[in-house]
Structure formats: C-alpha cells, structure tokens
Homo-oligomer: A and B are copies of this chain.
C-alpha cells in the first residue's frame, strides 16, 4: 500500500529549517503541530550513522513554553515533583509535569534563563494551555507565552568537534545539562549540552526564524568532512538508551514512579506542587506496574500502533509493550513496556502478542543483558 502524503497548512506550524530538513526525509510525523522527520536513509542506516558521525536534526517541534514574572519559579515548581529551588541560570533540568492524580502531562527539559524566567522545552502535548490554565485559575503573577524559538540538534560523537569549529572556541567546558549564550556566523543562539540520543550532542535554540536556513547551511558546510548528514530522533537509538517517549511509553494515565522517572526527583521537596498527595500515596503503596526493558530474539518486530499485550511467563500476569525496534547491533529486538510490580527481575521470561503470533523474550538489564538475577 502506498503511504498517503502529509497535507501541509498553517495549522502545522512552520519550522524555519523545513526547506532543508524535509528534503530527503523518507517518513515524517507531526509533533506539537510541527512536522518532525522520522527517517532519512532508513531507520538502521540512520542509526549506524548517528553512532559514528554527527547529524543535524530539525527539532523545531520541541516547542518552548516561556514562564516569566514574579511567580515564575513558584509556578514552575508547582508543575513538577522535581526540586527546582537551587536551579541556576544556565542550567537544564528534566522534569515530569504532573496533574492532580500524578499523571504525566508532559516531560520537558526546563531551562533557567534567569531566576524569574524559564523555558519548558516540551514533548508532544499543549503545555502552553496547561500552564496558562493553571496560572489564570490560581492567580499566579506570571506571563506564559510561546516565543518564536526553534531548536536544532547536533547529535553523534563528532558533534563536539563540529561545534568547536562553529563557535570558534572549545565547547568542552559546557557541562552536561548546561547551556551558554553564544553565536554562530553572527546568529545569536542558546547552546545546551542536551539532546534526544544516547550518542551525546547539543541543542541550539534559535529565536530568529529568518536565519534558520543560513544557520543550517553554515553547519552543513562546516560538517561536510565530518560526514555530517540530516537525521532525526532514531527509534532504535532512543529505545537502546532507555529514553521514554511521552504518548508512547507514558501518557497522562501513567505516573512517574511506574514509568521509572522517580530517579529524577526525591519525594518531599518543600515547594508546593500539584499531584503531591497522589504521588506520595503511590510511593507508599508501591505502584501496580513498572517500566522494564525487554529483549525479543529473532525476526524484527514492528513498533506497535497501540501497545502489544505482554504476559509474564512465571506469574501469568499481563503487562504491555509500549515501544520496540530491531537492534542491528544487539541482533535482537529491544523493547520498553510495563509488567506488574514484583515481576521485574532481569531474566524473567515474557511472551508478547504480535500480529496474531506469540513471541518469546526476557526482561533485560539497563545494558540489555538477560542473565537471570539471583
């Protein structure tokens, strides 16, 4: 079957890089009302290239929600169980945003630009409306807006060498999850050592859309001998890295403890936040299910349109697979999914229902080994 073409209109916000990034894209999706390329040469070829070289990604879809004003810190604290009280300008923090039941609304990187000025660099849900609604309802003294800021990402092991050339000074001093204000070819940018791959890299925040194509071209020219090419968040790499995708691996109906995001915060921060009561109850009772990594040997399994049903063999209890891809490096399928709590031991056999057939697999460690734990 021929895949249908994507209709473009003003309803899908225009990326300032799309005249470059859409060329050669084999597949795309829509993310925060912006087109996101999802494959160029092929998922596997893109994966190997990302591991070895450097890629330029149009991630204009990582929309910024700006919170500014007297109550900015108070409001941003109210959105998440992560303690932001010691956050400094130039710092980035990964922070799940919760609703009143401790459901995950979104999982942005929060950038602190000044003590009363934050950007939430969001995943795929309209956080602008969420934050505005809360702020207006509760009377926080802030301005919440969506500035014309469009991220471009450089990912892969050669990204640091490339940025050194572009900025004209070593970027090695930028620590992980920190950002600097700098410029490339005279274009002012915020450059953060962050990004949605396991291969290391940077995200460049552009606030002058008219400079998008010149920025892209400048980077492409400087990276030619590093084998730079256009890329995009890669399904295989992100599963191997254990990066969760909001909407795929967690939704408003998952809590951060079952999703394993509780490693990013401690319960009991002093500032008030939405969902505290629900979250503390889940922590006390223990979550009903937990996110695990799973390997499934054999032929490639397609990523699910919904979830795949997943049974834990030793207990017969049901769970689900939320993401899966064939890893050409590990020579098996690597997946993420939920199993009932108490069934998370590495090596545990599972059975996944895929397209009418049953596939056997095992719960894996953080580095995808499956030797049975004691």
Nearest residue, chain B, Cβ from A22: B4
Partner of A11, one of B27, B127, B245: B245
Is the CB–CB distance between A135 and B136 below 8 Å?
Answer: no
Contact with B along A1-38 (1 / 0, CB 8 A): 10111111111101000000011011111110100011
Is the CB–CB distance between B9 and A6 below 8 Å?
Answer: no
Shortest CB distance A103–B (Å): 10
Shortest CB distance A178–B (Å): 29
How far apart sit A320 and B10, CA to CA, in the bound complex (Å)? Answer: 12
Shortest CB distance A347–B (Å): 27
Nearest residue, chain B, Cβ from A245: B11
Q: Which residues of B contact A5 (CB under 8 A)?
A: 3-4, 26-28
Is the CB–CB distance between B10 and A306 below 8 Å?
Answer: yes
Q: Is A133 an interface residue (CB 8 A)?
A: yes
How far apart sit A31 and B126, CA to CA, in the bound complex (Å)? Answer: 13
Is the CB–CB distance between A10 and B126 below 8 Å?
Answer: no
Q: Given A7-B27, A12-B30, A134-B134, 17 more contacts at CB 8 Å?
A: A3-B6, A4-B27, A4-B37, A5-B28, A6-B29, A7-B39, A9-B303, A10-B305, A11-B124, A11-B247, A12-B29, A30-B30, A33-B124, A130-B132, A132-B133, A133-B136, A135-B137
